[in-house]
Structure 1
């Protein structure tokens, strides 16, 4: 720790002044699923800060990662007094900055957010106390013995003069189109400043992630917009909400959650959003086409839209999504442009033998942990022919551990059919090679259960597709689950009806499965998960990561077929899949 104060300077994303004990980690943190929005405890059991409380401390992390709902959780923490005193980042993070900006607008409370760059950030390790004043961070070994006081609010800066505005933009900004659109445009322009955008672009559709209930502040936010007369200006779909809106009472959900969570969905529909309630909007008829400029939130949806569909969207924070849907205008930055869609690193995957469907979520989870905010170009899967379900599972797990909004798979994803097109000709890119040692480490990280017994099998994170229903129907035909095991599937209403019409539900319901719409496993808890249950099994890399912190249960991660087998026997294997058992240290087996 420094004996005399050390001053570092950076870019102030949100102005303010605060101080506190420095809480440092060199791993990005997803506030949603990683931080309890009520207490401020870090609940991501895979994170080095697990168990720490953020309130009153100067939190230093490289950036956020994972869910777009991190902005909502941070806003909740600011509103209830359990937020960090300040945020110090190595890289600009729009999701966290947006949570603070919205707290300023709705609650008139704030905290400073300072980006100091990667090199200076590394020097924070082992420091004791930090004080933020505007663009300056002062480090000292202990709290200074002075009468200094921070500020709980920050003045809103004037609109950035560098952003080119159309006549309609100016009309929205001056209130001609109403209070809601005016405030929305103000927030959009503040984000444009953070993203260094000098103009806005028209978007064709939006997908809203802010309809997830994180606490009273999230509902107050939405109801404020309704009171202001907010109406979306582009076709807008809604993400999964926090309950099955039609059946939450039947499922035994506590009204303390069911009522406000349902009301939150109603508030967004009052603004003109469609009743879709799916975390997989790419499964809807409204899915965008290649090159279409859209505004989607929900991390797995963003990654799928950019990577698999070839549409163009940033990883939009909760609340910025609805602001842009109201205006129909978004900052021209990030993945809306060609440059940021280029690869920032190369990942080599060895030759594959016979693998099961647990391979792609595991690979996505592992590669995401290697990339940080860099867009990867993945080689080695050119002849593997991954299905759309494989890419969905890969992308969701990738988005859990990575902050990148996009991946390229050479010869597979549309922009990388010719891999040279996603490479900057003059760039020398870092390279990583996947091996069984790394994949086994990631497999063990996802398999947190301490015994083989299985109480709950969770499927549908992201929401089940029609083809996944078809596969599950085949696996369930002629079988019945163990009487003491819950097997539950989350999906969107539209896909559920398609599966019913196709006849897939007959075998699944005869098997004894529970079908849940509108919400997904990232929001489900007791009593869908029985209070006495200790262990879950899932084929989702995303849920295997989040579940220990969200619901406090150990997890087995495995293929869909293994999940069905465990539902019948109430027992899971404690061994990795056959294809992952190493024959040599640096390669995946070429056969089974």
Structure 2
């Protein structure tokens, strides 16, 4: 306080709430943040917006419980992840707010309606739009913790979902968690979270690829999705319309059935503003690392990518990493994504991602050499095509290292023959969960190999593990025997 005025800490870069702040102390721990080491506890802070995981919305409850929360947050840009701080009791303001428009919906919790009205004011929204589906992030006990469980207990008393609401991965395979080595106390808490969500009306998909599990929006359809990788995919590859919604906002929107009309719901916010040359890049891991680079360098861009001919799996990898290292909600790829021919690039920003950049990013994310404790693939969840390719690569071979592959229960049910082939190679296939949201450190793993830049980032920064990132073909070459 100076002269009776509250001093404001201005953060120079966006922050990832899930893995960028120590919830015990309020200290900024984000590796590339200019104010790393600074504490936000008890201070008024001003931030551009958040980046990274949509599950970061639950961080505010943890900060409050630990008496490490900021006194107030001022946003420069509308951000539904940071807005969740309001429900944790932390005041949130916008530099410029619009008028408050009344949302009239009966039979839903009043505080949820007021929350959406506040978001609409923050974003100067053009009213509200009815949504057809929600995808809920923040399902794992490893990421939302006791504070998230308490929140779900509270809201489940009154909240009932009015629209299709699919669920992100949990912290364990819900049927075979004992085989994974999940501790009993963790499993108990995780199952309680699942029961509360199902009570509210959630659909038990437990995947980060809900578009492969029955929740497939159509072009132009208004939805309200969490899980940053899924947001990027459906906005870009399908042409549906959603903002990058925080995990708590998803529960609010699924209950009320509406979301404010702003951001990526509007044509003008879908115009590309960064031209990216990725000529010569191919494969899941190269696309993943390219996405990581673009998100890191231009966290709020709408990239227009030239020079590539991607598969769906490469598109999935690219969007997931760009959303994890930044806050990218939408990209266009010339000749592949449905809106690439509609919009011209605005501005003169250009970026070229070459093979040397891929090598540098791979080295940045890799923290050791040698044999790992675990090989983990499936971030985002493996498609049927990816499972079949893994079975082809490993056919007639056997892994020397414990190998976990993650997919959805929907895909798993369709691939039992492929799964048997993978099991012959020593590969364990799990559903409902993934390496990022499972408590690998509690199971005893310390060194992990993965082919995903998103997984590498979160395994390092969230789980505290040593990581090596390699293409799937190289993983099989190095760690399998004939």
What is the TM-score when the length of structure 2 is the normalising length? Answer: 0.91
Three-state SS of the structure 2 residue aligned to 1:289 is coil
The alignment status of 1:477 with 2:395, answered yes or no, reads: yes
The alignment status of 1:305 with 2:285, answered yes or no, reads: no
> 216, 219, 227: which is aligned to 2:157?
227
Note the C-alpha offset of 1:84: 2.9
The alignment status of 1:442 with 2:354, answered yes or no, reads: no
Note the C-alpha offset of 1:92: 3.6
CA distance in 2, matches of 1:66, 1:112: 19
**Contact 1:454-1:566 within 8 A present in 2 as well:** no
After superposition, give the CA deviation of every residue in 1:170-206 in whole Å (9 maximum; x if it has no partner).
242xxxx15x3x3322211111111111311111111
After superposition, give the CA deviation of every residue in 1:71-101 in whole Å (9 maximum; x if it has no partner).
11123212332223443555343311x2211
The alignment status of 1:321 with 2:250, answered yes or no, reads: yes
How many residue pairs are counted as aligned between the two chains? 479
> 134, 141, 144: which is aligned to 1:206?
134
1:387-466 correspondence runs (5 A): 387-416=311-340, 418=341, 421-423=342-344, 427-449=346-368, 451-466=369-384
> 418, 425, 438: which is aligned to 1:524?
438
Note the C-alpha offset of 1:530: 5.2
Q: Residues 235 and 95 of structure 1: is their aligned pair in 2 closer, same or farther, counting only changes over 3 Å?
A: same
**Contact 1:211-1:239 within 8 A present in 2 as well:** yes
**Contact 1:44-1:548 within 8 A present in 2 as well:** no
CA distance in 2, matches of 1:62, 1:520: 30
The alignment status of 1:76 with 2:62, answered yes or no, reads: yes
Three-state SS of the structure 2 residue aligned to 1:463 is strand
Match of 2:477 in 1: 565
Q: Residues 270 and 441 of structure 1: is their aligned pair in 2 closer, same or farther, counting only changes over 3 Å?
A: same
**Contact 1:360-1:391 within 8 A present in 2 as well:** yes
Q: Residues 199 and 522 of structure 1: is their aligned pair in 2 closer, same or farther, counting only changes over 3 Å?
A: same
- The structure that has the greater radius of gyration is 1
Q: Residues 513 and 51 of structure 1: is their aligned pair in 2 closer, same or farther, counting only changes over 3 Å?
A: farther
1:120-199 correspondence runs (5 A): 162-163=100-101, 169-172=103-106, 177-178=107-108, 180=109, 182-199=110-127
Note the C-alpha offset of 1:63: 2.3
Q: Runs of 5+ in structure 2 lacking a partner?
A: none
Note the C-alpha offset of 1:42: 4.3
**Contact 1:37-1:215 within 8 A present in 2 as well:** no
**Contact 1:281-1:287 within 8 A present in 2 as well:** yes
CA distance in 2, matches of 1:342, 1:545: 28
The alignment status of 1:101 with 2:31, answered yes or no, reads: no
**Contact 1:212-1:261 within 8 A present in 2 as well:** yes
CA distance in 2, matches of 1:54, 1:25: 10
The alignment status of 1:512 with 2:426, answered yes or no, reads: yes
Three-state SS of the structure 1 residue aligned to 2:380 is coil
Q: Runs of 5+ in structure 1 lacking a partner?
A: 8-16, 104-108, 117-134, 136-159, 570-592
After superposition, give the CA deviation of every residue in 1:42-87 in whole Å (9 maximum; x if it has no partner).
4544555556554334555432101111111123212332223443
CA distance in 1, matches of 2:420, 2:176: 20
Match of 1:27 in 2: 13
> 528, 534, 544: which is aligned to 2:456?
544
After superposition, give the CA deviation of every residue in 1:409-434 in whole Å (9 maximum; x if it has no partner).
11111111x2xx2126xx43322233
Note the C-alpha offset of 1:564: 2.2
CA distance in 1, matches of 2:13, 2:405: 32
After superposition, give the CA deviation of every residue in 1:344-389 in whole Å (9 maximum; x if it has no partner).
222223x317x443211011111112222121111222xxx21101
Match of 1:11 in 2: none
Match of 1:371 in 2: 298
1:6-45 correspondence runs (5 A): 19=7, 22=9, 26-45=12-31
Q: Residues 562 and 6 of structure 1: is their aligned pair in 2 closer, same or farther, counting only changes over 3 Å?
A: farther
**Contact 1:233-1:325 within 8 A present in 2 as well:** yes
**Contact 2:272-2:344 within 8 A present in 1 as well:** yes
Match of 1:154 in 2: none
CA distance in 2, matches of 1:434, 1:70: 29
Note the C-alpha offset of 1:25: 5.1
Match of 2:41 in 1: 55
What is the TM-score when the length of structure 1 is the normalising length? Answer: 0.75
